[in-house]
Structure 1
Amino acid sequence: MKVIVRSARVIDNSSALNGQVKDLLIEDGIIKQIGDDLTSEGASEYSGNGLCVSNGWVDMRVASRDPGFEHKEDLVSVREAAARGGFTEIVLLPNSSPVVHSKDTVRYLHQAGNIGAVRLHVAAAVTRNAEGVDFTEMMDLHAAGAIAFTDGEYPIQNADLLLKTLLYLQPLNTLLMNRPEDRQLALYGQMHEGVTSTLIGMKGIPSLAEEMMVIRDLKLLEYTLENRAYSATAPSLHFSLISTSKAVDLIREAKAKGLPVSCDIAAHQLAFTDEDLIGFDTNLKVSPPFRSGADGESIRQGLADGTIDAIVSDHCPHDEESKNLEFDHADFGITGLETAFSTALAHCGLGTEQLIEKLTTRPRNILRLARQTISEGTEANLTFFEPETEWVFEKSYSKSKNSPFLNKTLKGKVRGILNRGEILWY
């Protein structure tokens, strides 16, 4: 494979070429040359309008549904959706059937993920069947290739389990990801608890359900570090899908104290508030729920000051039978891989370079992935995009269509990805 990408602005703070518009010659998966007016016999050429290139984007939270729920999503369709969303690497949650709690399932996913332009990373379950009762064989799962540990869509409720997991994973220098929510406080909740939930008569999920768990987990993390040497350069505890002002403040304070902690938010969390649920659109039923406008502003501030490390798609595909129901019976979640970049670009309040950091450098550091830079002689793992181009999200390549953005005009178009010697261009 030999390609030339014409006139692409380099977005990479670690590169000496950052901000410059250059041609890139990639041959057999290696960036051979970066310059002006490049030529190479037999090379395929690609170009765009206001084209930018960055290191390949990483999504830390994707539900693939495979194995077990392939009618909602499978490994082929999730990779197609990821590529069209600009992601060259994605982390799969363990909530499949069977749950990813055995070496065989990790190997199955790894074998499928070791081909093509989109690489699949596997997050294994902390507890068997993600039920929060018995530990998995985490050391074996780590040796088999699990990149992190989480019960995925199920927050770890048992404090002793979470404490022992932190202690167990520290010598392995691997990551525990937990979504902070007290399930008892959130029981039967359908949306954010506030004025809107009261007006429309819907059971609310209080912000306290998230904040109590953040407080608990941070206290447990502090306890694990007392009188113990800690040498890892990446976080050991990662909070998934932060959504409230107080949670952002708590994590900001923890980072100021030097705790090895990180967090992410879902791109769609930036685009909506609880007031948007007045129409009872089940495509807006997500967990954590859309919060207040004040919470959204706190999230944007957290992104700007570095408290929030990463932006994820929280891709959560559901079939028609799971969404086309009364609001309180519909499942939580939306598909987000194809629209995460456009959504974040429109609503995060960051410049393009800052946003790309949340999709590249920070996720890679949290996940202990090798650093990347755009320079000659390096392996090409690249995403190409046009920040100013408007497009209509007319067709989803996910098997599930539970997206509030279908048929909407969005700004910020992904043109393609190049990874492991394969280019996909749209």
Structure 2
Amino acid sequence: MVHLYKSVTILHKLSPFNGKVVDILIKNGKIAEIGNDLTDPEAKVIQEDGLCCSIGWFDIGAFVGEPGYEHRESIESLIKAAAYGGYTEVACLPNVNPVTQTKSSVEFLKQKSVNTPVRLHAIAAVTHNLEGKDLAELIDLKEAGAIAFADGNTSIQASDTVLKALEYLKIFGGVLINRPENAKLANGGQMHEGVASTKLGLKGIPSMAEEMQLKRDLQMVEYTNGRLHFSQVSTAGAVHAIREAKRQGLQITCDVAAHQVTFLDETLEPFDTNYKVSPPFRSQKDREAILEAVADGTIDTIVSAHIPWDEEAKELEFDLAEAGVIGLQTAFSVAMKSFSDKIPLQDIVELISTNSRNLLGLPIPALERGELANLTFFNPKTTWRFTENVNASASKNSPFLEEELTGCVFATHQQGIVTFNPAYPNSLQ
């Protein structure tokens, strides 16, 4: 199939066409031509007012339930949700069953996404069975294709394990991803510790639980000169510490969930488990610090924080329900809602496309003639509704379900496959 997109604004700083309105001809999975007044008798012509194009978006740390938890999310459903959300590549967490800690498990994930709309990458386990003790076979996993290493969404508690991991990963320039949370301080916490948690009678998770663990890890990085990425920072103290550590030249990066500043602890729906996330929605002070950190570049990328749960895990009392929301289909719209007052659209797109690859040392797709099409087409001003009918995930735990959102993906092109988003008004699907 040949597609000709007319009057599209390019948003990719490495492209010579950045900021320009051009036509894009895609033929046989490649960018055949970029220019003005293009024609092709075989092409399906697409013209949407306000349509933009960037390199395909890349998400770090989504949960895919296969193998072992397909009832929460299968590879097929994750790929569909990711493509509808504008992602052409996704790095998947290792907390499946069996854990992603062998060459064959890494290869399984890679092979499952051959000739699909979304290429999947493996984040392999740092420690055996994600227990936080003995290191996994890191070199073997790297050779098999693992692009980073983490113990899923679980913070490594033992200091000596973090130290050994950072030292070992230095051998081949590997990246450790760690969630900064002290499990003992956070134990039993249901939401951010503050006035709202007291009013609701729920045990709080103090900011200190994140900040103490993060500062410990910074000391480890300084000692080893290793490479560490902090996943889903959420507090003012955390971003201040990261900003200062970057000034000192430490090899660290960090991300924030798209939804993190959309709600506050005091404004979330009381006892609605779709608002129960980890890290929790925090205070206005934390929100302002996160927004400032995104604006000044302290935060390197925005992630979907896609954690699907089945109804049995969410339809419980708040203190018994699991934490997490699905986010692949809504991440861009929610990021626009959260951050567009602080940074321009161009920067939001760079955060979820170029920056996410850079921090993992991955090649950046080229948006040029003759290159394979790894592209996302989207309209930042189009409104749409995230309904159960367009939700492609196997789960539906989202505070944005049935909400009207602004900023909608139109289509993705990856591995010779075009995927049109059914949620886009007048979608071509």
* Residue in structure 2 matching 1:249, options 224, 234, 240: 240
In the other structure, the counterpart of 2:289 is 298
The AA in structure 1 aligned to 2:367 is I
Runs of at least 5 residues in structure 2 that lack an aligned partner in the other structure: 422-429
1:211 partner amino acid: E
Is the 2:354–2:364 Cα contact (8 Å) retained in structure 1?
A: yes
Q: Deviations over 1:70-123 (max 9, x none)?
A: 011000000000001000000100011111111111111111022212000000
Q: For 2:257, which of 247, 253, 266 is the aligned residue? A: 266
1:305-316 alignment, distance < 5 Å: 305-316=296-307
Task: Write the distance in 2 (CA, Å) between the matches of 1:47 and 1:88.
Answer: 22
Q: Which residue of 1 aligns with 2:360?
A: 367
Secondary structure in 2 matching 1:38:
coil
CA distance in 2, matches of 1:258, 1:293: 29
Match of 1:47 in 2: 47
Q: Helix, strand or coil: the match of 1:279? A: coil
The letter of the residue matching 2:135 is F
Amino acid at match of 1:421: G
SS in 2 for 1:143: helix
Q: CA deviation at 1:278?
A: 5.0
Counterpart in the other structure of 2:348: 355
Q: Where does residue 415 of structure 2 map in the other structure?
A: 420
Cα contact 1:62–1:315 (8 A) shared by 2: yes
Aligned counterpart in structure 1 of residue 321 of structure 2, from 322, 330, 353: 330
* Superposed counterparts of 1:174-323, under 5 Å: 174-225=174-225, 236-277=227-268, 279-323=270-314
Q: Confirm or deny: 8 A CA contact 1:280 1:327 kept in the other structure.
A: yes
Secondary structure of 2:120's aligned partner: strand
Q: Which amino acid aligns with 1:365?
A: N
Displacement, 1:223? 0.3
Aligned equivalent of 1:397, options 384, 387, 392: 392
Q: Does the 8 Å contact 1:334/1:402 carry over to 2?
A: yes
For 1:253, the aligned partner's letter is: E
Q: Answer with 278-287 or 87-96: which moved more.
A: 278-287
Which of 389, 399, 406 aligns to 2:401? It is 406
- In the alignment, the residues of structure 1 paired with residue 246 and residue 25 of structure 2 have an alpha-carbon distance, to the nearest angstrom, of 41
Q: Which residue of 2 aligns with 1:131?
A: 131
CA distance in 2 between counterparts of 1:264 and 1:387 reads 22
Aligned to 2:427: none
Task: Tell me, yes or no, if the aligned pair for 2:188 and 2:203 is still in contact at 8 Å.
Answer: yes
Contact 1:196 1:278 in 2 (8 A): no
1:129 Cα offset (Å): 1.3
Q: 1:315 aligns to what SS in structure 2?
A: coil
Check conservation: 2:200, 2:270, Cα contact below 8 A.
no
Unaligned runs of 5+ in 1: 231-235
- Percent identity over the alignment is 49
188 and 134 in structure 1: CA distance in 2 versus 1, 3 angstrom threshold: same
Q: CA deviation at 1:128?
A: 1.3
Between the aligned partners of 1:31 and 1:397, the Cα distance in structure 2 is 28
| 1-structure distance, mates of 2:51, 2:177 | 34
Amino acid across the alignment from 1:277: L
Aligned to 2:426: none
Q: In structure 2, how many angstroms separate the alpha carbons of the residues matched to 1:160 and 1:268?
A: 33
- Check the 8 A contact 2:125/2:150 in 1, yes or no: yes
Partner of 1:103: 103
What is the number of residues matched between the two proteins? 417
Q: Which residue of structure 2 lines up, in the alignment, with residue 84 of structure 1?
A: 84
**SS of equivalent to 2:221:** helix
| 1:46 positional shift | 2.3
Structure-2 residue corresponding to 1:233? none
CA distance in 1, matches of 2:49, 2:400: 23
The one-letter amino acid of 1:53's match is C
Q: 1:188-241 CA deviation, whole Å, 9 max, x = no partner?
A: 00000011001111000000000001100000000002xxxx8xxxxx210000
Q: Distance in 2 between matches of 1:380 and 1:270?
A: 33
AA of the residue aligned to 1:315: H
Q: Which amino acid counterpart does residue 338 of structure 1 have in structure 2?
A: Q
Shift of 1:380: 1.3
2:332 is equivalent to residue 341 of structure 1: yes
Could you tell me the TM-score, scaled by structure 1's length?
0.96
- DSSP-derived class of the 2:186 partner: coil
Q: Which is further off, 50-59 or 3-12? A: 3-12
| Distance (whole Å) between structure 2 residues aligned to residue 84 and residue 371 of structure 1 | 21
1:363 alignment partner, SS class? helix
Q: Which deviations, in whole Å up to 9, do the C-alpha atoms of 1:115-150 show, x marking residues without a partner? A: 212000000001111111221111111111111000
Secondary structure class of the residue paired with 1:163: helix
Name the residue aligned to 2:425.
none
CA RMSD of aligned residues (A): 1.1
Cα distance per residue 1:335-388 (max 9 Å; x no partner): 000000000001113210010111011111111111233221222110000000
